[in-house]
Each structure stands twice: as structure tokens, then as C-alpha cells.
Amino acid sequence: VTKPFAWARRAFVWSGEAYLSYSLAALSLMGFAASTYSWYNNTAYPSEFYGPTGPEASQAQTFTFLIRDQRLGANVASAQG
């Protein structure tokens, strides 16, 4: 077994509580990465099976409200600034 680099020995705390803390931080980081992957990736999670991805749902909602506002008579082009 090799020893950690000197900068790593100085930078981290070497105790059981620290190991647990580092492990929990790594799990939260991996959870965030997985949720971001599933939010944007339409290949691994096809909309036909799992429903729309986040951006698809957001775009569909924006389009739905745009059509609704136009039907209500709002001048959408002038409201965009």
C-alpha cells in the first residue's frame, strides 16, 4: 500500500469521522451528477418510456403558455422587450 502524497496528508483529516464525511460528500456529488445526466440525456432515458426530460417539459410548457396567451389576445411579440 502506498502512502498519500504529502499535500494530501496535510490537506485532509485522517480519522473515521473524516472518512465518513468524505464518503458522504462523494455520494452527494455522484447523486448530483446522476440527476443531471438523467435530466438532460434523452438517449438513456427516452421520453417515450419515462416521460419528457426536464428541458423538453420546460419547452413544452413555454410553448403551451405562448399559445394560450396568443389565443387570449395578448400581443406576445411586443411583450418580449
**pLDDT tens digits, the chain, 81 residues: what are they?**
888 899 988 888 888 898 899 999 999 999 999 888 877 776 776 777 777 666 677 777 777 777 877 788 777 666 655
Q: What is the pTM of this model?
A: 0.48
Tell me phi and psi for residue 42, to 5 degrees: -90, -5
Which residue spans within the chain are E strands per DSSP?
A: none
Length in residues, the chain: 81
User: Which amino acid, one-letter code, is at 14?
Assistant: W
With a CB cutoff of 8 Å and minimum separation 6, the contacts of 39 are 53, 54, 55
Answer for the pair 76, 62: CB distance below 8 angstroms, yes or no: no
